[in-house]
Amino acid sequence: MTEVSERAGAFFGRRKGKKLRAGQDELVQTLLPAVRVVPDSPLADQFPNHRSRETWLEIGFGGGEHLAAQARTHRDINIVGCEPFVNGMAKLLAVIEHERLDNVRVWDDDVTDLLPALPEGSFDRVYILYPDPWPKRRQRKRRLVSDETLEGLARVMRPGAELRFASDIDDYIGWVLARALRSRHFRWTATRADDWRRPYEGWPGTRYEAKAIREGRVPSYLTFVRV
């Protein structure tokens, strides 16, 4: 199904691909409601055993490889993952169940609907990794990163929190830089070329990134700090 919203940064594209296997469908029906973020409720209360900890957000986690790697490596961090694509959500739910990742909560709809419902200063780090670049000029209004989205993220990020953005599309990198640099809420941390050419410390990579590198595209890794 295609999202018809015209809001800047709103979700566009398919919400479901191939038919879910029986086990995946069961997880969507049973586990998803138990780990879904409850809007208008403090995030700390949704991690009952881990209230006084950092909380990270990943927007558009795809198949969940990066989010799961971070969750298992940082069991002392609470992580919220947003992904409207049900097949990707089902993959992550299987990992959550199998590895008992009780430090993960999810949102299976448009992140631009969730952000306004969250308390200010909810997150210590935000990841946006390899989002759909919508390369055609007429499609660019569909890109996730927009002035409006950055305003929404700034509200839910604590001062000093990091926004990490990775892409292999040069045009999108420039697009994000232009919008982040003109925002009064964010400061780009780079001081030399290697600061955006090298992956983040402890970077587990993603399947999309591996494909991009095989096809000869060069990823960039941007880091902005909430001021």
CATH code of the region 22-226? 3.40.50.150
166 pLDDT tier (thresholds 50, 70, 90): very high
Q: How far apart are CA 101 and CA 118, in angstroms?
A: 22
Residue 137 CA from chain centroid, whole number: 24
Pair type for strands 55-59 and 123-129: parallel
Q: 3-state DSSP call for residue 7?
A: coil
* Residue 132 neighbours by CB under 8 Å, 6+ apart: 12, 13, 60, 142, 143, 144
Q: Taking the CA atoms of the chain, what radius of gyration do you get in angstroms?
A: 17
pLDDT at residue 86 in the model: 93
**From 102, 109, 113, 132, the catalytic residue:** 132
With cut-offs at 50, 70 and 90, classify the pLDDT of residue 2: very low
pLDDT at 10: 56
Is 0.75 surpassed by the pTM of this model? yes
The 3-state DSSP class for residue 163 equals: strand
Residues 157 and 163 sit within 8 Å (Cβ to Cβ):
yes
- For residue 121, give the DSSP letter: T
Q: Is 171 a catalytic residue?
A: no
pLDDT over 80 (residue 3): no
Other CB atoms within 10 Å distance of the CB of residue 162: 18
Task: Tell me the per-residue pLDDT of 99-153, one tens digit each, with 9 for 90 and over.
Answer: 999 999 999 999 999 999 999 999 999 999 999 999 999 999 999 999 999 999 9
122-126-131 Cα angle (round to 5): 135
DSSP state of 168: S
Mean pLDDT of the residues in the chain: 91
CB 35 within 8 A of CB 94: no
Q: Any idea what DSSP says for residue 49? A: T
Identify the CA nearest to 106 among candidates 163, 61, 40, 155: 61
Residue 129 has what DSSP assignment?
E
